[in-house]
Amino acid sequence: MLERLQKKWNVSGLRLVLIIAIFAIGGSLTGYAGKKLINLFNIEKGVLWVIVYILLITIIWPFAVLIVSLPFGQFSFFKNYILRIGVKLGVFSRESGVHSNETGPQLSTKDPQLTTHIAIFASGAGSNAQKIIDHFRHHSLIRISLIVCNKPGAGVLAIAGKENIPSILIDKEKFFRGDAYVPELKERGISFIVLAGFLWKIPSALTKAFPGKIINIHPALLPKYGGKGMYGRFVHEAVIAAGDKESGITIHYVDEIYDHGKIIFQDKCIVLPTDTPDTLAQKIHELEHKNFPAVIEKLLLK
């Protein structure tokens, strides 16, 4: 369990110990303060007492852990943690990261230390990359910080230039038999990788450096029509040739095997007798553009 938390929060062992200690101390302080405050209301113990007490500790807890985190040097972590909870509950807006009451105090979330930095790997035109960039353009907690491409002249590189996003054109030898660009990714603060039409197999050096932090989108309903060589038009031609009545998209975690990682999300579309690889591709693109950014956001904010 502790190892899972360490990976989820991307912290060292020492920081994890400090964070758990702050949770414990902050929780105790919250309980103590809640009981002291509720005594001021002279409410007899019962249903109303329980309701008021729960409301009080819900309000007190964020302030308690933030105060306790200061001497431990973990204020940024807990500020980020509370903001993520606030985004889920609708207390903070996704776009601005401020309290929903426009006349109330505003809480800025532009600190880069509080941001999840994503690298998008792509090989082609980059339509999915563009949709993802658009979705997170003003996000308070998630930022597209790097475009990685293996094909000179690919459209996604033009998108990176237009959007003022740094890009890396990777070398095959270094990617597969070198360090897989892990140092460059770490130096840029990348903590999550999205494959959006990236045609090279991901080497073990990269999956080990980012365990459970790399996802891919495949233009078919895995486990059907996956594996080496099954991408783009080749997939759609295979689906139509097999006479399938439906196709779709699969978003999945990435491991060392093509299209093999755990499935995160699937969506389907009908394949008509009149469909061609081109018309089916259009249906699949619509599913990709509709779902991929939203699934990424859900994964990162859970």
Query: Which residues are known to be catalytic?
Result: 218
Edge to edge, the sheet with strand 190-195 lists: 167-169, 142-149, 116-122, 190-195, 214-218, 246-253, 263-270
b or e along 246-263 (b: 16 or more beta carbons within 10 Å of the residue's beta carbon)? ebbbbbbbbbeebbebee
Nearest to 194 by CA among 139, 234, 145, 157: 145
Residue 100's identity, in one-letter code, is: S
* Side-chain half-sphere exposure of 219, counting CA atoms within 13 A: 26
Nearest to 290 by CA among 249, 247, 231, 234: 249
Contacts of 223 (CB under 8 A, 6+ apart): 259
Name the β-bridge partners of 216: 195, 252
